[in-house]
Amino acid sequence: MLAETKTNHDSSNPRWVANAHAKPAVVLFIIVCHAGALAAPWTFSWAGLASSIILYYLSMGVGITLGFHRLFAHRSYRAPQWFKIAVGTLGCLSLQSGPIRWALTHRLHHRFSDSKDDPHSPRVNFFWAHTGWNFYWSPEHLGLPGHHRFARDLYADPVARLLERGFLPINAASIVLLLCIGVFAGDVPMGLSLVTWGFALRVVLVWHGTWLVNSATHTWGYRTFATNDASRNLWWVALLTFGEGWHNNHHAHPTAADHGRRWFEFDFTYCTICLLELVGVISHVKRSTSSRVSDRQKGDPALHDNRYSGRTEEMGTEPNSGGNELNDAHPGKKLR
């Protein structure tokens, strides 16, 4: 049975809904991509299927989960510049945004989770959390003077700025590359197959996989930690997103690289992180066993905006203690 969710924030009249402005170009583009994905059965090829599977893992598993989320948004580990460029480029191939805007939105979600300032809470409705929030922009957040303070570390990062500027060119180049590979290796129908399966269908699947973390894991599943939001652990979302479905665990310790807490909570991305650490590619991996070092973010006023009411935990600098161990007297204590 699900634990009762306690929230410290008023979620009525969400700012993102009340003051949102439509983005018709984004709406049209999302519709076009879905239409392209629906054409997949008529352009099937084994090469197209292979490109879809391979690029799904690279853009979702490596780009979003390993890169945008655990590296750029939460700084769960340290990596050399070439690695940041590689995973950041793959993250851009998800066609969601560049790393700065993605991490900024995600940090706002953690800061104001399931409150009226959450960019994509299902407390509005399930469709809003899953897809609808992409159709609008809100001056309360992404248009707010000083909003960059929530991601000033990324604005100061030349790699993140480069990837942010290169977001659209990277995706345009990927379409051209897929088409050229198909045409030169086969014929025009093969090129169209690679574009349809390797780009349109794959992008739509990555979108919905990512959006399910926003919607499904704040609606269904079980809770291990009594966090001040509606986050849940949901096994099938974890499978689709290479470990992101253990969302309640993540909200309890946002900067921890490991999202699984129980033996059956398999986190493929954490296994990847351990392997990369073992061979010396990455270092300073933050784990849940050490994430109680700091209960509150210290020394960075950029994440303490007094214009907002709510919690003052960090998003990406020090480990967050949204959930502590069993006997800690804290709103995020572990549930029995």
Residues 222, 82: Cα–Cα separation, whole Å: 38
**How far from chain centre, in Å, is Cα 42?**
31
pLDDT at 217 over 80: yes
Answer yes or no: is 39 within a domain.
yes
Domain range spanning residue 132?
A: 22-224
Average pLDDT over residues 142-167: 83
Query: Taking Cα atoms as reference points, which of 213, 180, 239 lies closest to residue 56?
Result: 239
| pLDDT value for 146 | 53
Amino acid sitting at position 34:
H
Q: Average pLDDT for residues 79-87, to the nearest whole number?
A: 97
Average pLDDT over residues 76-86: 97
Tally the domains of the chain: 1
Task: State residue 49's pLDDT score.
Answer: 98
Assess if residue 278 is contained within a domain. no
Closest CA to 111 of 326, 330, 309, 294: 309
155 Ramachandran zone, left/alpha/beta (phi>0; psi -120 to 50): alpha
The CA distances from residue 164 to 83, 95, 100, 181, 303, in Å, are 16, 12, 6, 26, 21
Residue 188 lies in a domain: yes
Looking at the domain assignment, is residue 282 inside a domain?
no
Give the model confidence (pLDDT) of 40-65 as tens digits. Answer: 999 999 999 999 999 999 999 999 99
Q: Where are the beta strands (DSSP E) in the chain?
A: 21-22, 136-137
Residue 291 lies in a domain: no
Judge contact between 91 and 64, C-beta under 8 A: yes
Close Cβ partners of 115 (under 8 Å, ≥ 6 residues apart): 7, 8, 9, 10, 11, 121, 310
Alpha carbon distance 335, 329 (integer Å): 12
- Owner of token pair 């066993």: 289
Judge whether 324 lies within some domain: no
* CA-closest candidate to residue 231, choices 336, 326, 127, 120: 120
Q: Is 24 exposed, middle or buried (0-12, 13-18, 19+ CB in 10 A)?
A: exposed
CA–CA dist 81, 125 (Å, integer)? 40
**Residue 30 covered by a domain:** yes
Number of C-beta neighbours around residue 298 at 10 A: 9
In a domain, 214, yes or no: yes
Instruction: Count CA within 13 A, CB hemisphere, residue 151.
Output: 29
Digit-coded pLDDT (tens) for 94-125? 999 999 999 999 998 998 898 888 888 888 88
Q: pLDDT (tens digit, 9 = 90+) per residue, 237-273?
A: 999 999 999 999 999 999 999 999 999 999 999 999 9
Q: What is the mean pLDDT of the chain?
A: 82
Lowest pLDDT segment from 8-22, 64-78, 232-246, 260-274: 8-22
